[in-house]
Chain A
């Protein structure tokens, strides 16, 4: 009997509170913009943070409030931008697909005796924790002689959610087909050697060395010495040499590939000449 009373009492109490809550949820109902949910559906939901907002939900809210432009989502690309534009009732505009580029060609090569024949020279063997940030803290900015190049311990590989970046011969390399341009890799790189470049542009300068030509030559067999030949031949004036490093302005670049043909160090890569991996490997030699 006691059990029946206890159940009845607590059940009744719960019922009353339930009814009160039901009434309160009607009284305090907050309308949610139905477009928000639709925008969330358009986005890939990877929460990579490439747009600069906290996750896909944060970006959708910013777009809804008019704080963010449509087309910031690199991983969703044009398809996602068009879908979002349809929800918001505006035109998407052109979305340039960006991919990551590791600005380093210091792939290390060795002869049969294990002596290094090419690539970025090492000060010594780093035996510590296999992480770029950790490595960059020891021995005066890490184990490479070059102060700018890729350390190759793969912090970016761990950061990539799309399996699009891998370390090949001591240098990280981007799979341009898999890369969605979220730039998570660039965020974790202690040397800031990774940048975003437009996918359609096929001439690349995979070097980050701002050192003087002679210093660069001593530290790496594949470094830009800032000679400026590419700048002279460029028909569109798209190349400038900034602090000893050739830099392409992709607003102007027409991907003609002339700069790649004149580069004495074969640093500038023309992807039309060879598939990316081969061109990169060639540049490394």
Chain B
């Protein structure tokens, strides 16, 4: 059990990173990575949503299995994820208005963040139990946080660097993302147990 959890953590953080290896959730990765602060906030929000969605979707999937409705899994999961994002949005608006403002339109867009739906579908496909599912969700979110914070710190530095006029802004960010993904590919052989 402990072995499996550690294996999942390493896979989700490094060798199977949701963003840089599996290319899920690129939209907030490019959109909210201009500042480390907001990137960290986004990462935390996504981690929370992913863990909660993994937990909730496990039970929803059990119900679907019971009723032999597994072909409806995608619709049901989207329903769960959308609801959770709504609650998180309300919570942040009340409790952390600064983060709510900084995340802006990307907060409701977590709903359509494919990393969230992706992790839930992976959980189901791999047949994880509730604990492992939740750990996988949280670890996937942490992997997202790691990637987006790394990327945001590189972008903050690149913003100040001299760069050809035609590459300024988004183009250089895309190149940076590509190089970062390349670096993470170096973890691909990494597996324990």
Question: Residues of A with Cβ closer than 8 Å to B?
Answer: 2, 5-6, 9-10, 13-14, 17, 20-21, 24-25, 27-30
Q: Are B69 and A5 in contact (CB under 8 A)?
A: yes
Q: Are B79 and A28 in contact (CB under 8 A)?
A: no
Contact of B90 among A5, A6, A10, A24 (CB under 8 A): A24
Chain B residue nearest to A14 (CB atoms) is B79
Rounded to whole Å, the gap between the CB of A173 and the closest CB of chain B is 34
Contact of B83 among A9, A20, A27, A30 (CB under 8 A): A20
**Complex interface bits, B91-120 against A, C-beta within 8 A gives 1, otherwise 0:** 101110100000000000000000000000
16 intermolecular pairs with C-beta atoms under 8 Å apart: A6-B69, A9-B64, A9-B69, A9-B72, A10-B72, A10-B76, A14-B79, A17-B80, A24-B86, A24-B90, A25-B90, A27-B90, A28-B95, A29-B94, A30-B94, A30-B97
A-B contact count (CB 8 A): 44
Chain A residue nearest to B86 (CB atoms) is A21
Q: Are A28 and B76 in contact (CB under 8 A)?
A: no
Q: Are A13 and B60 in contact (CB under 8 A)?
A: yes
| Interface size range of chain B in the complex | 20 to 34
Give the CA-CA distance A147 to B114 in the complex, in Å.
55
Residues on the B chain within 8 Å of A27, using CB: 90
Contact of B75 among A5, A10, A29 (CB under 8 A): A10
Question: Residues of B with Cβ closer than 8 Å to A?
Answer: 60, 63-64, 67-69, 72, 75-76, 79-80, 83, 86-87, 90-91, 93-95, 97
Interface residues of chain B: helix, strand, loop or mixed (majority):
helix
Give the CA-CA distance A20 to B83 in the complex, in Å.
9
Q: Are B69 and A28 in contact (CB under 8 A)?
A: no
Contact of B94 among A2, A5, A14, A28 (CB under 8 A): A28
Q: Are B72 and A6 in contact (CB under 8 A)?
A: yes
Give the CA-CA distance A6 to B68 in the complex, in Å.
9
Rounded to whole Å, the gap between the CB of B98 and the closest CB of chain A is 13
Q: Are A28 and B72 in contact (CB under 8 A)?
A: no
Q: Are B79 and A10 in contact (CB under 8 A)?
A: yes
Residues on the B chain within 8 Å of A30, using CB: 93-94, 97
Give the CA-CA distance A25 to B83 in the complex, in Å.
12
Residues on the A chain within 8 Å of B83, using CB: 17, 20-21
Residues on the A chain within 8 Å of B67, using CB: 5-6, 9
Residues on the B chain within 8 Å of A6, using CB: 67, 69, 72
Chain B residue nearest to A18 (CB atoms) is B83
Besides the known contacts A20-B83, A24-B86, 8 further A-B residue pairs in the complex with CB atoms under 8 A apart: A2-B68, A5-B67, A6-B69, A6-B72, A9-B64, A13-B80, A17-B79, A20-B87
Give the CA-CA distance A30 to B101 in the complex, in Å.
14
Give the CA-CA distance A9 to B91 in the complex, in Å.
28
Give the CA-CA distance A1 to B90 in the complex, in Å.
38
Rounded to whole Å, the gap between the CB of B188 and the closest CB of chain A is 38
Residues on the A chain within 8 Å of B60, using CB: 13
Chain A residue nearest to B66 (CB atoms) is A9
Give the CA-CA distance A30 to B80 in the complex, in Å.
24
Q: Are B80 and A28 in contact (CB under 8 A)?
A: no
